[in-house]
């Protein structure tokens, strides 16, 4: 029986050693990745990709790129989550095409104010924020927006480094959806940031613009797979009601 959301969250642990005698159902893992793609994402751009690795030779190569840490070496499958800020044009265009279908092919002069705004958002504002040239345009935007911000609230995280963070945050949200979905069906995961990301990209044949957010080991936990009791700082230390 599938766990509730709270049960899945409480069950999920970063498992370092997976059982060797239990295989994963590829379709179940794929379904968990479909849940990942439903995660919230900045401007609905969905600047992510998920690489579901089951091939033993590639698993071995990725394990080496992850320094053969136990969570990679004993994993039955691996999922590589990649941030794809470089795909913003393609994803923005997909949003525009989807929105126009919902407008029932109305002529432009019949668009509502909201419809005009959302098309302007994807057609003009997104390119303004994401277009880059050697990092120079980002700093130029940053200075302009900082000046405007002296007089009114305005979004100021517009440098190339800022937009990379935005893409990785969205990819991280998707990864969490995946791991909770896996926990709900009794599968275990371990998110790993420790890897040679250049080698990971080379093994998977990823393009220059792809950036590795994390590699996730997948399997069923060995009895020694969880290294100790869960530790969290007291909730009162992090909860601030205002």
| 210 pLDDT above the threshold of 80 | yes
My answer on whether 107 and 37 are in the same domain is no
Q: How many domains does the chain have?
A: 2
Q: Name the phi and psi angles at 24, rounded to 5.
A: -100, 150
- pTM for the model stands at 0.93
My answer on whether 105 and 67 are in the same domain is no
Q: How far from 161 is each of 8, 123, 142, 172, 212, CA to CA, in Å? A: 34, 22, 11, 16, 15
What confidence tier does 158 reach under pLDDT thresholds 50, 70, 90?
Answer: confident
My answer on whether 16 and 74 are in the same domain is yes
My answer on whether 187 and 132 are in the same domain is no
My answer on whether 123 and 91 are in the same domain is yes
User: Domain for residue 106, yes or no?
Assistant: yes
- Which residues, at least 6 apart from 30, have a Cβ–Cβ distance to it below 8 Å? 52
Taking only the tens place, the pLDDT of each residue in 102-147 is: 887 788 888 899 999 999 999 999 998 999 888 788 888 888 888 8
So what's the pLDDT on residue 84?
98
Taking only the tens place, the pLDDT of each residue in 11-66 is: 999 999 999 999 999 999 999 999 999 999 999 999 999 999 999 999 999 999 99
Q: Any idea what DSSP says for residue 4? A: P
What confidence tier does 156 reach under pLDDT thresholds 50, 70, 90?
Answer: confident
CATH of the domain at 24: 3.40.109.10
User: Domain for residue 48, yes or no?
Assistant: yes
My answer on whether 91 and 156 are in the same domain is yes
Domain holding 112, by residue range, is 87-161
Longest CA–CA span in the chain (Å) reads 65
Taking residues 186-210, report their average pLDDT: 97
User: Domain for residue 231, yes or no?
Assistant: no
| 228 pLDDT above the threshold of 80 | yes
């Amino acid at each position: 029986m599938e766990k509730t959301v709270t049960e899945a969250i409480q069950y999920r642990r970063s498992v370092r050693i997976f059982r060797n005698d239990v295989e994963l159902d590829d379709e179940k893992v794929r379904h968990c990745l479909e849940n990942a793609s439903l995660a919230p994402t900045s401007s609905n751009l969905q600047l992510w990709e998920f690489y579901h690795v089951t091939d033993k030779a590639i698993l071995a190569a990725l394990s080496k790129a992850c320094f053969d840490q136990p969570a990679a070496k004993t994993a039955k499958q691996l999922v590589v989550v990649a941030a794809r800020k470089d795909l913003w044009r393609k994803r923005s265009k997909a949003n525009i095409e989807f929105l126009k279908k919902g407008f029932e092919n109305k002529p432009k002069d019949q668009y509502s104010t909201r419809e005009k705004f959302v098309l302007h958002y994807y057609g003009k504002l997104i390119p303004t924020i994401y277009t880059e040239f050697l990092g120079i345009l980002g700093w130029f935007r940053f200075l302009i927006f900082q000046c405007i911000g002296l007089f009114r609230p305005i979004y100021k995280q517009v440098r190339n480094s800022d937009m990379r963070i935005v893409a990785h945050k969205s990819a991280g949200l998707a990864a969490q959806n995946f791991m909770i979905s896996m926990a709900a069906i009794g599968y275990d995961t371990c998110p790993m940031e420790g890897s040679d990301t250049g080698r990971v990209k080379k093994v998977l044949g990823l393009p220059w613009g792809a950036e590795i957010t994390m590699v996730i080991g997948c399997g069923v936990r060995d009895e020694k797979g969880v290294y100790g009791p869960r530790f969290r700082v007291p909730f009162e230390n992090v909860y601030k009601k205002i």
